[in-house]
Structure 1
Amino acid sequence: MKQAFPVITIIPDKRRSKENTLFPLKLRITFKGERKYYSTGFNASLADWETMETKNVRGSLKNIYHSINDIKIRAQLCCNSLSSFSFQAFETAFFPKSIPTTTVQIAFDQYISKLKQNEQIGSSHSYRNACISLHKFKPNLKFKHITVEFLKNYEHWFLQRGNSITTVGIYLRSLRAIINVAIENGVMEHADYPFGSRKYSIPMGRNIKKALSLEEIGKIYNCELDPYSVDEMSRDYWIFIYLCNGLNVKDMCLLKYKDIQGDFIVFQRAKTIATRRIQSEPIKIAIKDDIRKIISKWGQKPIHSESYIFPCLKIGMSLEEQRLKIQLLIHLVNEHMKKISHNLGINKPVTTYYARHSFATILKNSGVSTEFISEALGHSSLKTTKNYLAGFENDAIQKNTDLLLQFKL
């Protein structure tokens, strides 16, 4: 007959031995035919275990014996205190939560470490910046401090220092991810979750138009620049990004000659590789004559298939070195594109991001489906693509509703 109360013992776990024939000493609880094992943090050989069972122990073995016996007694007292035993109730009562000792800083550090292991270097820097900002507002920040009132006060403090509402959203989405992990790990109670309906809503940044018209792109494409100057290189890189499905600068720098397959460039987005375990469909870019010319003009000699097309990166660079080089190139191209567009009378801060948005919005305005644009951009969902295009919906509404008054013409 199965017992109606738990039986608690300490045993050497022979299922897997430690080095030098040491076995983990486990707290074993048996209840109604079910057994569960819990670590005590101690190991012993079978000979030492037999010695401890006789209670004829001395020296270090004596200390181990008293420590594991104390664990057994505390476990028994914990079980006795439960009105109704279950393994979950025991675990909740016996193992202390880490809220008093676990700070938000530690949680961020652990999350950032995982991002780096997953080669998500850009994301790791973004989370680091969020952590630094939050701790400037509240030094030694703990999970118990994070309330709806705290988040509202942080947002106000952050904006008062001239920062953007978009950056607030980025930092607090990072914090929300940290809190979700903390709740999963039992570090924070779900009841204390400060985000959501009737709590704190993370602000959305203004959806500012970041695209050019075909006329403006034509001005950039046709402008005369000094041959082989930095201005010309920056313009050509911008046009390359625009024609290549609006790929981002990192993906452009990572392109290799092996990615050129006939009349297409076929590649996986670096962001996609880092965030998804299951490989998604690759992005295909139709190679137009202008793309070939830019590769021929600015690309480096293809020593072998693993050679990068453009001379920004070198094989063997660390991820941090790659990130720095890519950031420097983005800054260089953006500075020169702003100068070029200003000289052309384009009153927009033209950056590489404008090339990506222009690709998407011009296709959309030409009647191309959102599904095709989403796939070309490498977005994980249509929602992301719709956010890209949202700032241009008003223009489309104005243009299309003009048709209602065509009878006046």
Structure 2
Amino acid sequence: MGKATDHKDSDANVKVILFKSKTLADGSHPLMVRITKDRQRKYIAVGESCFLKHWDEEKNTPRRNHPNRAYIEQVIRTWTTKYASAAADLKQEEKPFTASSVATQLVKVIRKANLFDFIDETVERLIREKRLGTANTMKSIRRTLVRYEEHTNRKSQRKNGLLFTDLTPAYLDDFRVYLVERGLAETSMAVYFRTLRQIYNQAIKRSMVAAKHYPFNEFKVSQFDLRTRKRAISKADIGIIAGLNLETPRQLLAQHLFLFSYYGAGINFIDLAHLTWQDVQRGRLRYERQKTGHLFNFKLADSARSILEYYYPLTGSNMANYVFPILDRQKHLTPIQISNRVHKKIGQVNKDLKELGVLAGIDVPLTTYVARHSFATALKYSGVKTAVISEAMGHQTEGITQTYLASFENELIDEAFDNL
């Protein structure tokens, strides 16, 4: 790529630069649109940043070693063109204007920014970054919003599609009622609205919508806060589940995955799917969490080892093989194939777990999440301090949980595992 071209339409110079005067928390610098007019300058953040080692200051472009070079180049072209076009529009009015008025002119245009288009662009970026879980969540929200628009006949009435400015507090509350009527669990609604809030914040950051339209000051996502809702089951209930005599392979797999998650430090489903026999060493489980890259290392309880002994004759012929029959190395090759398979399988397993809960006479609807939560509660009652591990193991407490699990090598926690 050659040297970036400056746009000088309407006597305004528009360029995206690396703003070295500001350093972000991770050590990178923000990319800013710089509008120069009559020796005055206006800077606008584009919502992206770059490390100095990845930036060619002479050419004012990302270097070849930038991990997302093509994407950053596209961001630069997009925003340079948008602000240059806004400056050209002002010149046609044949009235004096400033660098600030160029920015204001663009805001008038981007108020018509389409939410669905922005989600699509964000999903593409997340897929490139291999953040497939978040990408799938956004795609799910998009599908649900499209159905809601069709249900309310709003879709046919909107000339420009669903705009950010259409997401008023009243709209969000009506959408919430729509989700409730369709039986969506509050945990799922919490994820939906937190993600929508994240999308809106990103749009503001990229000047796609003015902050004054922000609806989440009035529509509180905290109304879906489920931290106080108990989802754990007792050790006695765990024993009942372990004692169930199951006939179908699907039910047996669901039982084993649930119990292994409970006995295995609350390991979540995606990590269960990725476990290989190389992760099992000398009675301990060592693996890297898919979501965060955090390393876990802890003693396996006898009950967990018994489950592994069941699968070893089936999948243990090669140390690189997956422990549980969820993923197939011959079929699930790409990140998207793996993500789709895990998503499909967790829905199937949770459905089977609910059947197991009925067979066991347990009132709490069983899911893989219940196993994680029950593990945390069992450790608490085994003497682990509440300051270190909480009864809840949702997203709100995951950081605390990870900090706690980092010290699993110590004897105190190993002894607590013996009491599971």
Q: TM-score range by the shorter chain?
A: 0.5 to 0.7
1:298 to 311, 316, 338: 311
Relative to structure 1, the CA distance from residue 142 to residue 308 in structure 2 (aligned partners, 3 Å threshold; closer, same or farther) is same
1:344 to 356, 360, 382: 360
- Residue 196 (structure 2) pairs with residue 182 (structure 1): no
Relative to structure 1, the CA distance from residue 284 to residue 32 in structure 2 (aligned partners, 3 Å threshold; closer, same or farther) is same
Q: Give CA deviations for 1:314-334 in whole Å, capped at 9, x if unaligned.
A: 235223322343244334433
- The answer as to whether partners of 1:370 and 1:382 remain within 8 angstroms in 2 is no
- The answer as to whether partners of 1:245 and 1:377 remain within 8 angstroms in 2 is no
Q: Give CA deviations for 1:13-52 in whole Å, capped at 9, x if unaligned.
A: xxx737xxxx84643458669999xxxxxxxxxxxxxxxx
- The answer as to whether partners of 1:78 and 1:90 remain within 8 angstroms in 2 is no
2:241 to 220, 224, 232: 220
1:260 to 280, 304, 311: 280
Unaligned runs of 5+ in 1: 1-15, 37-69, 274-280, 386-409
Max radius of gyration: which structure? 1
Relative to structure 1, the CA distance from residue 186 to residue 243 in structure 2 (aligned partners, 3 Å threshold; closer, same or farther) is same
- Residue 140 (structure 2) pairs with residue 129 (structure 1): yes
- The answer as to whether partners of 1:247 and 1:377 remain within 8 angstroms in 2 is no
Q: Tell me how far 1:242 sits from its aligned partner.
A: 0.7
- Equivalent position SS for 2:362: coil
- The answer as to whether partners of 2:113 and 2:209 remain within 8 angstroms in 1 is no
Give the distance between the partners of 1:75 and 1:243, measured in 2 at CA: 66
Relative to structure 1, the CA distance from residue 347 to residue 152 in structure 2 (aligned partners, 3 Å threshold; closer, same or farther) is closer
1:333 to 349, 352, 367: 349
- Residue 125 (structure 2) pairs with residue 114 (structure 1): yes
- Equivalent position SS for 2:143: helix
Q: Tell me how far 1:104 sits from its aligned partner.
A: 0.6
The one-letter code sitting in structure 2 at the alignment partner of 1:330 is I
- The answer as to whether partners of 1:233 and 1:298 remain within 8 angstroms in 2 is no
Q: Give CA deviations for 1:269-322 in whole Å, capped at 9, x if unaligned.
A: 21214xxxxxxx412231233322222211444455433222321235223322
Relative to structure 1, the CA distance from residue 17 to residue 364 in structure 2 (aligned partners, 3 Å threshold; closer, same or farther) is same
Give the distance between the partners of 1:72 and 1:347, measured in 2 at CA: 64
- Equivalent position SS for 2:216: coil
Partner residue in 2 for 1:364: 380
Give the distance between the partners of 2:256 and 2:122, measured in 1 at CA: 38
Cα RMSD after superposing both structures? 3.8
- The answer as to whether partners of 1:211 and 1:355 remain within 8 angstroms in 2 is yes
Give the distance between the partners of 1:313 and 1:364, measured in 2 at CA: 33
- Equivalent position SS for 1:270: coil
Q: Tell me how far 1:205 sits from its aligned partner.
A: 5.3
Give the distance between the partners of 2:111 and 2:42, measured in 1 at CA: 31
- Equivalent position SS for 1:81: coil
The one-letter code sitting in structure 1 at the alignment partner of 2:224 is M
Partner residue in 1 for 2:406: none
- Equivalent position SS for 1:356: helix
1:57-96 matches, cutoff 5 A: 81-82=96-97, 87=99, 89=100, 91-93=102-104, 95=106
- Equivalent position SS for 1:195: helix
Give the distance between the partners of 1:333 and 1:35, measured in 2 at CA: 54
Relative to structure 1, the CA distance from residue 91 to residue 362 in structure 2 (aligned partners, 3 Å threshold; closer, same or farther) is same
Q: Tell me how far 1:254 sits from its aligned partner.
A: 0.4
Partner residue in 2 for 1:233: 253
Partner residue in 1 for 2:232: 211
Partner residue in 2 for 1:318: 334
1:368-387 matches, cutoff 5 A: 368-370=384-386, 372-373=388-389
The one-letter code sitting in structure 1 at the alignment partner of 2:252 is E
Partner residue in 1 for 2:323: 309
- The answer as to whether partners of 1:98 and 1:187 remain within 8 angstroms in 2 is no
- The answer as to whether partners of 2:187 and 2:224 remain within 8 angstroms in 1 is yes
Unaligned runs of 5+ in 2: 14-35, 44-84, 156-160, 402-420
What's the TM-score, normalizing by structure 2? 0.64
Relative to structure 1, the CA distance from residue 97 to residue 268 in structure 2 (aligned partners, 3 Å threshold; closer, same or farther) is farther
- The answer as to whether partners of 1:269 and 1:378 remain within 8 angstroms in 2 is no
Q: Tell me how far 1:76 sits from its aligned partner.
A: 7.2
Give the distance between the partners of 1:73 and 1:117, measured in 2 at CA: 34
Give the distance between the partners of 1:327 and 1:110, measured in 2 at CA: 22
Q: Give CA deviations for 1:49-101 in whole Å, capped at 9, x if unaligned.
A: xxxxxxxxxxxxxxxxxxxxx9998787899724xx5x5x2641565654254
The one-letter code sitting in structure 2 at the alignment partner of 1:282 is L
